[in-house]
A = this chain, B = another copy of it.
Amino acid sequence: MGLDLFSDVAELTAEIVDIESVSGAEKPLSDAIEAALRPLPHLTVERDGDSVIARTSLGRAERVVIAGHVDTVPVNDNLPSRVDGDRLYGCGTTDMKSGVAVALRLAATLPEPGRDVTYVFYECEEVEADRNGLKRLAETRPELLHGDFAVLMEPTYAEIEGGCQGTMRVEVTARGERAHSARAWMGSNAIHTAGRILDVLRGYEPARPVVDGLEYHEGLNAVFVRGGVAGNVIPDECVVTVNHRFAPDKSLAQAEAYLRELFAGFEVTVVDAAPAARPGLTHPAAAAFVSAIGGTPRAKLGWTDVSRFAELGVPAVNYGPGDPPLSHTRDEYVEIPLIHDCEARMRMWLC
């Protein structure tokens, strides 16, 4: 049984939520998407890794890009999906398979849109940037992503969100000296020393800068910690992986300098980073979308791949039916009426 792109968008969302696609294991879902799009005569479909790109080529004056990632964070006892009243629960419902379902519906049911459209379904957004499918496409096949404007269907609760915060992951390493744990005073316990790293994190007060009229909300969190040699050895190393989210008034270099100062005295190694993107809503193509969809744009707090479009010179916004705070939670759900609403507004804009 393949995907039915002509079914209701909420049913389609449930269908693709139930095809598990944790980062790195998207193949079954990408295969299903490719198989569903290939037969449509108005689309040119390409496969690149586990990303699928489908394009209309009607010679329209404008081309827009509609993009979404197909992977999810690890399943947390929240599959298969289930409907409860107006809510569809399950891993990836909000982030961002409901947005992917809207894009798939538009791709299948709009053979002659008023603007040429490039639909991009890509892999590995939820893990380190080096595996990101959109990053790879931007580097190896940038012509596929070109357009006058891009909409990334990340969860925004069906409102337009401009820009995105940057993200940087650093490993902060505490060092010590090994010794037998029966004579701990002969060594120096790196895990205990790492307590000072956690002190910094526990004392952190998030900044909330306003950029181009939108208010952001920064963050500083341990996302991993590891240390230990053997059950009777004082450990000589403890590594805390810290994720910093920063507003688009800061460059990557400024974010790194901030972290190095905050953790002075410890080794700090940048393992992963992606720049912030300024809201950019003053661009004419962005303004046209805002006026078609309606509502008041907000700041995007999460990092999203709008930043990759910004780097290619393509203005881009986030817009999708999911509710951002529910992303990555065990009780993740999406409001079914918002999926319908989102599809209807996008359809009006593209007709």
Interface residues of A (CB under 8 A from B): 23, 73-74, 76, 95, 126-128, 165, 167, 169, 177-187, 189, 191-192, 194-195, 198-199, 201-202, 206, 217, 219, 221-235, 238, 240-241, 243, 245, 272, 301-303, 324-325, 327-330
Contacts and interface: CB of A to CB of B under 8 A. Distances in A.
Contacts of A223: 181, 191, 228-235
A219 to B, nearest CB: 5
A229 to B, nearest CB: 7
Contacts of A241: 228, 231
Interface centre among A177, A234, A301 (most CB of B within 10 A): A234
How many monomers of this chain does the complex have?
Answer: 2
Contacts of A329: 177-180, 186-187
B325 A272 contact: no
B201 A231 contact: no
A126 B181 CA distance: 11
A240 B202 CA distance: 17
Determine chain A's interface SS by DSSP, over half rule.
Answer: mixed
Given A191-B198, A201-B192, A329-B187, A324 B178 contact: no
Given A198-B192, A222-B192, A180 B231 contact: no
Given A179-B325, A201-B192, A232 B225 contact: no
A91 to B, nearest CB: 11
A224 B183 CA distance: 17
A126 B230 contact: yes
A292 B7 CA distance: 92
Contacts of A302: 180, 182-183
A74 B303 CA distance: 41
A310 B235 CA distance: 30
B235 A222 contact: yes
Contacts of A235: 222-224
A322 to B, nearest CB: 11
B230 A127 contact: yes
Contact of A222 (B169, B187, B191, B328): B191
Nearest to A330: B178
